[in-house]
């Protein structure tokens, strides 16, 4: 059985005080969540606070991006070692906002995954199609291309202990969720694609769904055979909603 992971992506939201309040709420209810692992991916400046507040709680934390470089003259960048300094477990790579707004291409995202993994972080590798791509029936081609960039660089084994997040771009922040069947179809495609290369890796890799996941739709999505959790944006900013999604995992 794959562990269910409910990960919050706070994006560029919050303040020291709002994050304290949010984490107080999450900590207060986390004991009622039986099967899912909870994690939050925070903006860099708050990692020290998050570490202090979540240490010893069983709730994991991580970041939303990292540099491919180890150290040096890279103004504004943050390395894997810096994230490990704050005991980050996870780091999101290749979120569609980074791909579309900051020009991160498949090769760079694959490199970020490789660097994070080699450093001992668990990268959450985001893939997904735009509305235009879905309407042109190229969803599988797009997702395959994104994953192939990683396999070409690192080999399929690099995914065995990793996490993939399928996030259809048209469902992110729009309130429009992929139906459980739509999401399951892409998750199954991803797992079958990996199984072609290595059945054991395909069985192990956690594939999360992301895109307007909320307390009302989480249970149906999480009930699907190949959906192993969620990457939650807006709903992760409210403790009750985030916890309700965790509970929906069963
Ligand atoms: P929303 O849950 O706000 O749609 O965001 C999803 C997302 O982008 C998580 O990474």
The whole-number pLDDT of residue 34 equals: 87
Residues with CB under 6 A from ligand 1: 9, 95, 167, 172-173, 210-213, 231-235
Q: How far apart are CA 198 and CA 103, in angstroms?
A: 31
Scanning the chain, the segments in alpha helix (DSSP H) are: 16-30, 47-54, 80-85, 96-101, 106-119, 131-135, 139-154, 180-197, 199-204, 218-222, 239-248
Q: How far apart are CA 168 and CA 135, in angstroms?
A: 12
Atom of ligand 1 nearest to the CA of 212: 4
Q: Give the domain extent around 127.
A: 4-247
Prediction pTM value: 0.98
Is the CB of residue 237 less than 8 Å from the CB of residue 22?
A: yes
Of 95, 97, 129, 187, which residue is the catalytic one? 95
Say what the alpha-carbon torsion angle 40, 44, 46, 51 is, to the nearest 10 degrees: 60
Is the CB of residue 177 less than 8 Å from the CB of residue 166?
A: no
Rounded to the nearest 5°, which phi and psi values hold at 57?
A: -90, -15
Distance 172 CA to ligand 1 centre (A): 5
Atom of ligand 1 nearest to the CA of 165: 10
Categorize the per-residue pLDDT at 31 as very low, low, confident or very high, splitting at 50, 70 and 90.
Answer: very high
Is the CB of residue 7 less than 8 Å from the CB of residue 39?
A: yes
**CB-based contacts of 139, cutoff 8 Å, min separation 6:** 129, 133, 168, 186
- Average per-residue pLDDT for the chain: 97
Is residue 250 over pLDDT 90? no
CATH of the domain at 48: 3.20.20.70
Average pLDDT over residues 176-188: 96
Of 104, 129, 167, 187, which residue is the catalytic one? 167
Domain total for the chain?
1
Q: Count CB atoms within 10 A of the CB of residue 49.
A: 16
Quick one: what percent of the chain has pLDDT higher than 90? 97
Reported as a single tens digit per residue, the pLDDT across 118-166 is 999 999 999 999 999 999 999 999 999 999 999 999 999 999 989 999 9
The whole-number pLDDT of residue 67 equals: 98
Atom of ligand 1 nearest to the CA of 172: 4
Q: Count CB atoms within 10 A of the CB of residue 103.
A: 8
Residue 167 annotated among the catalytic residues of the structure = yes
Distance 39 CA to ligand 1 centre (A): 14
Average pLDDT over residues 24-46: 97
Count CA within 13 A, CB hemisphere, residue 14: 29
Residue 187 annotated among the catalytic residues of the structure = no
Quick one: what percent of the chain has pLDDT higher than 70? 100
Distance 11 CA to ligand 1 centre (A): 9
The whole-number pLDDT of residue 195 equals: 97
């Amino acid at each position: 059985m794959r562990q269910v992971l409910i990960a919050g992506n706070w994006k560029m939201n919050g303040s020291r005080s709002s994050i304290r309040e949010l984490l107080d709420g999450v900590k207060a209810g986390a004991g009622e969540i039986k099967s899912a692992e909870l994690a939050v991916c925070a903006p860099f400046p708050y990692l020290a606070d998050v570490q202090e507040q979540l240490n010893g709680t069983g709730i994991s934390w991580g970041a939303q991006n990292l540099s491919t470089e180890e150290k040096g003259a890279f103004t504004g960048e943050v390395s894997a070692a810096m994230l490990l300094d704050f005991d980050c477990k996870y780091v999101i790579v290749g979120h569609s906002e980074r791909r579309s707004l900051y020009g991160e291409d498949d090769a760079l995202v694959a490199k970020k995954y490789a660097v994070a993994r080699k450093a001992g972080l668990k990268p959450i590798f985001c893939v997904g199609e735009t509305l235009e791509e879905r309407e042109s029936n190229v969803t599988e081609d797009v997702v395959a291309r994104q994953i192939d960039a990683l396999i070409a660089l690192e080999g399929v084994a690099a995914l065995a202990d990793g996490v993939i997040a399928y996030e259809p771009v048209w469902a992110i922040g729009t309130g429009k969720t992929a139906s459980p069947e739509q999401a399951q179809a892409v998750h199954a495609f991803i797992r079958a694609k990996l199984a072609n290369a290595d059945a054991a890796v395909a069985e192990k890799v956690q594939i999360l769904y992301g895109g307007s996941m909320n307390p009302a739709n989480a249970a149906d999505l999480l009930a699907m055979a190949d959906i192993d959790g969620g990457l939650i944006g807006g709903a992760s900013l409210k403790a009750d909603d985030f916890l309700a999604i965790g509970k929906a995992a069963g």
